[in-house]
Structure 1
Amino acid sequence: MTVAAILTNKGPEVVSARPDQTLEAAAKLMTERRIGSVLVREGDEVVGILSERDIVRAIAAKGAAALGMPVSSAMTREVVFGHPSDTVDRVLGLMTERRIRHLPVKDGGRLIGLVSIGDVVKKRIEDVEQEAEGLRAFVHGAG
């Protein structure tokens, strides 16, 4: 029921882009990897996050020329981080409140993974299904 449990199943891989890469290169990377965002890093430091929405906004503002612009021109600079001990419900609330779909996770200042809204919803559904199965077993055992 925590982010740590999600990352245990999902794994620690985080796909990244550099601030100087073009939006086109980042979009191709996201398409190839079938993901909706990339962390923007300079070395080990996270300097932003770029989502599909950020790319769409840039294209809406600048047209096709936006694809030649650097990732740094469209990325979100204020990155919100989660912690492995965060509950699924807390993360869902945070994502809803901040209107974000991707949450990088740090432990002790070290990046350890990234969870998406899809990962969190999937875990929540699994938890509810397990609880329902437990209740069914209890009811059938009590009868």
Structure 2
Amino acid sequence: MRTVQHVLNTKPVQVYSVTASSSVLDGLKMMTEKNISALLIMEAGTLQGIFTERDYARKIILHGKASKDTPISEAMTLNPITVTSSDSIDSCMEIMTEKHIRHLPVVNENQVVGMVSIGDVVKLIIADQKQTISQLESYINS
């Protein structure tokens, strides 16, 4: 059974974050620069929340707030659902599907070690399926 660690092994070991007092605009700039769609909100090494493109659309744009003048704390999702590196990919998919979320911070012993996106999970599942198909074809042809 594949775990979150399998996904983390395929990604750079970089966690992008800002503080809760950062402006929404600063968060969006970082997301654009890093080509990511979610950003962790950290204070003194502790996960406080997550800010996603969905948060921006629903909590800033639709309310007519200015990104430059609004602290990210007003738009972030507090206490995000997290997983550990030993959790299964199946459990990630289940959480993402049931909770309608696309990103799961990975936290081991109160330390953020990465983030898993729905894209990461889907890529791993597709790779596993291709491998299974290849093995079955090889078995059938031998």
Q: TM-score range by the shorter chain?
A: over 0.9
1:67: Cα distance to partner? Answer: 3.9
Q: Which residue of 1 is the match for residue 109 of structure 2? A: 108
**Contact 1:59–1:67 (8 Å) recurs in 2:** no
1:7: Cα distance to partner? Answer: 0.3
Cα distance in structure 2, aligned partners of 1:79 and 1:90: 16
Give secondary structure in 2 for the equivalent of 1:68: coil
Q: Which residue of 2 is the match for residue 132 of structure 1? A: 133
1:109: Cα distance to partner? Answer: 2.3
Greater per-residue helix proportion:
1
Cα distance in structure 1, aligned partners of 2:29 and 2:12: 22
Cα distance in structure 1, aligned partners of 2:55 and 2:68: 11
Mapping of 1:19-30 within 5 angstroms? Answer: 19-30=20-31
Cα distance in structure 1, aligned partners of 2:109 and 2:140: 43
Q: Aligned residues: percent identity?
A: 37
Q: Which residue of 1 is the match for residue 36 of structure 2? A: 35
1:66: Cα distance to partner? Answer: 4.1
* Number of residue equivalences: 140
Which residue identity lines up with residue 7 of structure 1 in the other structure?
A: L
Which residue identity lines up with residue 61 of structure 2 in the other structure?
A: I
Gaps of 5+ in 1: none
Cα distance in structure 1, aligned partners of 2:65 and 2:108: 39
Give secondary structure in 1 for the equivalent of 2:40: strand
Give secondary structure in 1 for the equivalent of 2:81: coil
Taking a change above 3 Å as real, the CA distance of residues 109 and 65 of structure 1, as seen in their structure-2 partners, is closer
Q: Which residue of 1 is the match for residue 5 of structure 2? A: 4
Q: Deviations over 1:2-22 (max 9, x none)?
A: 110000111321100110111
1:112: Cα distance to partner? Answer: 1.2
Q: Which residue of 2 is the match for residue 55 of structure 1? A: 56
So what's the TM-score if we normalise by structure 2?
A: 0.94
Gaps of 5+ in 2: none
RMSD (CA atoms): 1.1
Q: Which residue of 1 is the match for residue 47 of structure 2? A: 46
1:39: Cα distance to partner? Answer: 0.3
